[in-house]
Structure 1
């Protein structure tokens, strides 16, 4: 029952973010790393990076990590992350030193996903290596298409 509520909540979050575009025409294939973006990450509240900084990252991405559902939403250079258990974080996406980076701040003080390096991004898959204090490491995401959860999203163990 709790797993169904989690999936329903995540589906609502994905549906709410579906208005930002599907990223279909600019998406790359899943065979390798993407081309680098041309803007810098907004790391200190100064002027923001251009909307192209997120490149193929644009959209809603879903993962299951340690039995928790994780939704990563990228809209231009703005990023939000929601995870089962109440984790909510926000931040930016952009390029730093030739690498695509995601920087998040979480009100609960969690640093597991404070800084992430985008290893690869394709039409349907995203891999981010999180370099936070919690040592989360690599996390693989699947893209949500048209506000719908992917059919292959693993849900076993959610909410248990």
Structure 2
């Protein structure tokens, strides 16, 4: 059983490294050019608050209902999700409400279609079509989500 645990940690380390690489390659922060994010921003009718993709950009982290780590990175319309041992990528789109459409590398469908229920500059609530509901907290600018394995190679 010890070997399975090591293999799972290695897979999670590889997935975490992929998240770090995705964040680094896509430039998680803003460089002052807000034209792309302005085009992606929209206010759903009757919401009274900005919930466009620009407002959910960045790195988010939290725990699933069963206490496992969940990490989300949003850059423009691109999304990377690490949850419960699954690595998923996809896009965010505005359909009156912001929707996440993801595909997991291992075929898992627990968190492939989600709706942003609420977002502030510090928290994000996502309801997934498969039944889960996650509340995530914004990671500090330039900081990696907590709980990632240490000793990862740096780009």
Q: TM-score, with normalisation over the residues of structure 1?
A: 0.61
The 3-state SS of whatever aligns with 1:146 is coil
Deviations 1:110-130 (A, max 9, x none): 111111110111111111111
Cα RMSD over matched residues? 3.1
User: Could you say if the C-alpha distance between residues 58 and 105 of structure 1 is closer, same or farther in structure 2, counting changes exceeding 3 Å?
Assistant: same
Q: Which ranges of structure 2 fall in alignment gaps of 5 or more residues?
A: 35-46, 148-155
Deviations 1:25-75 (A, max 9, x none): 99xxxxx974244xxxxxxxxxxxxxxxx1211111101111211111101
Structure 2 equivalent of residue 80 of structure 1: 80
Q: Which ranges of structure 1 fall in alignment gaps of 5 or more residues?
A: 27-31, 38-53, 156-160
Give 1:46-57 correspondences, 5 Å limit. Answer: 54-57=53-56
The reply to whether residue 139 of structure 1 matches residue 134 of structure 2 is: yes
Contact 1:11 1:147 in 2 (8 A): no
Task: Please list every run of at least 4 consecutive aligned residues from structure 1 whose deviation after the TM superposition is greater than 3 angstroms.
Answer: 8-16
The 3-state SS of whatever aligns with 1:55 is helix
Structure richer in helix, relative to its length: 2
Give 1:6-25 correspondences, 5 Å limit. Answer: 9=13, 16=21, 17=23, 20-22=27-29
The reply to whether residue 70 of structure 1 matches residue 65 of structure 2 is: no
Instruction: Tell me how far apart the structure 2 counterparts of residues 33 and 71 of structure 1 sit (CA, whole Å).
Output: 27
Q: Which has the larger radius of gyration?
A: 2
Deviations 1:72-116 (A, max 9, x none): 11011010111243x1111100101x1111111112221111111
Contact 1:34 1:121 in 2 (8 A): no
